[in-house]
Amino acid sequence: MGNILSAISNVIANPVVELKEFYSSRNRANSMGEALESYVKDVFADTLNETNERKRLERFEQVFSYTGNQNNPPDVMIRGGDAIEVKKIESQGSQLALNSSYPKAKIFSDSSMITNACRDCEDWTEKDIIYTVGVVKGNKFKKLFFVYGVDYAASEEVYQRIKNTISDGLHMIPNVELAETNEIGRVNRVDPLGITYLRVRGMWGIENPSKVFSYVYTPQDSDFEMVAIINDDKYFSFSDEERLKFQILMSTNHNFKDDADHRCTIEDIKIKTPDNPSILKPAKLITFRR
């Protein structure tokens, strides 16, 4: 119905550099963040050129089981497919602010960090998650990076160990009243009057994919660049028909007007395994620039 290969194909066919202007003209976004999220939804749903809002929303209903809120991951879930988390940064060197949610290799239906609407939107247990990072400079859309959580983030227990150790430390403080919370901790009745409380919140962050994968990818100076890293297990999980269609598109658009600065490439690479960087796994590096 919708997947990363079709999304990449739609980006190649419809790169939108003036992102905010494009969506403001259709009354679909008031900020670059909203415009970026709208663009990501449109490339996955194949609705970039759909000007009829009713038909666009009907298509969203077919493709997506969940389009959530900004406070709980993920931002979008493809019905029967992957989850998507959209992040906007303003320079290629910026880190991603994840706030109270640590990085996710996958997303699980029993996670306390997701909403009930997300949990109940379809019959699911776990999903791969695609981190979709847009670099915006002023009103210009400069870069779009797709990477799967399993290639970007460590396993959940790595982050939970830190969170739980801090939370357990709060229990060691004598004569405090702790409350149940999805945050790291909450201490009630701190003062003699019992009117002060302390919330202990995580403020997680992660280096952006351009920096994390600098050993396999070198940024190019162009008006717009799209980069995707897909591990081979995921890439070959798509049907032969989908992969053949995608490869034909990449081959057809390899060079634009014989200009080597405007091209699509797909390259076999090896990337570090987040839980054990000494183990390399095969992947595809897909780039497009204009």
Q: What is the pLDDT of residues 74-88, one digit of tens each?
A: 999 999 999 999 999
What is the distance in angstroms between the CA of the first residue and the CA of the last residue of the chain? Answer: 28
Whether pLDDT at 51 is above 60 = yes
**Which tokens is 164 given?**
């739980």
Instruction: Map tokens 């029993």 to a residue.
Output: 110
User: 85 with 104: CB under 8 angstroms?
Assistant: yes
pLDDT in tens, 249-265: 888 766 554 455 558 89
- Cα–Cα dist 100/182, whole Å: 9
pLDDT tens by residue, 128-171: 999 999 999 887 899 999 999 999 999 999 999 998 898 889 88
- pLDDT of 257: 45
| pTM greater than 0.75 | yes
The beta strands (E) that lie in 32-116 are given as: 64-67, 76-78, 83-89, 96-99, 106-108
The whole-number pLDDT of residue 52 equals 93
Give yes or no for a cis peptide into 74 (omega within 30° of 0). Answer: yes
Span 182-186, average pLDDT: 86
